[in-house]
């Protein structure tokens, strides 16, 4: 299962960066890279987690954190992902496999 999740993250990250184009990366105001938010939402939907569970689960997966530019010992507040869902006007109905 861990290998499948890592594969999902890598694929979703590649697609997110491609979709964001020149907007990929960290916003000028700081914070997490935009593609990290998108991939986190894919993981959340695929694993059927709440935002709080998502942060807890990600903190236990160092390989996933590394790919998403997250530090397992300094995870963002779950509200960061919750609010980004509205901010980026995402419509994630199916995660790529």
Q: What is the pLDDT of residues 35-71, one digit of tens each?
A: 999 899 889 988 999 999 999 999 999 999 999 989 9
Total tally of structural domains belonging to the chain:
1
Is 59 part of any domain?
A: yes
Is 47 part of any domain?
A: yes
Position 11 pLDDT exceeds 80 = yes
The span from the CA of 85 to the CA of 2, in Å, is 25
pTM of the model: 0.81
Is 58 part of any domain?
A: yes
Q: Which residue has the higher pLDDT, 55 or 23?
A: 55
> Burial level of 37, CB count in 10 A (0-12/13-18/19+)?
buried
Is 34 part of any domain?
A: yes
Q: Which domain holds residue 54?
A: 2-19+30-87
Is 94 part of any domain?
A: no
Is 65 part of any domain?
A: yes
Is 74 part of any domain?
A: yes
Three-state SS at 94: coil
Three-state SS at 89: coil
Is 95 part of any domain?
A: no
User: Could you give the residue ranges of the DSSP H alpha helices within the chain?
Assistant: 2-20, 34-47, 51-59, 62-67, 78-87
Q: Which two tokens stand for residue 61?
A: 């997966």
């Amino acid at each position: 299962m861990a290998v499948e999740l890592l594969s999902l993250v890598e694929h979703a990250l590649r697609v997110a960066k491609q979709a964001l184009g020149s907007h990929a990366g960290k916003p000028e105001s700081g914070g997490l890279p935009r593609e990290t938010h998108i991939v986190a939402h894919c993981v959340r939907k695929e694993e059927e987690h709440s935002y709080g569970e998502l942060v807890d689960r990600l903190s236990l997966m160092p390989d996933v954190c590394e790919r998403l530019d997250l530090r397992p010992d300094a995870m963002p507040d779950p509200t960061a992902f919750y609010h980004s869902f509205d901010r980026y006007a995402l419509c994630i109905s199916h995660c790529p496999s």
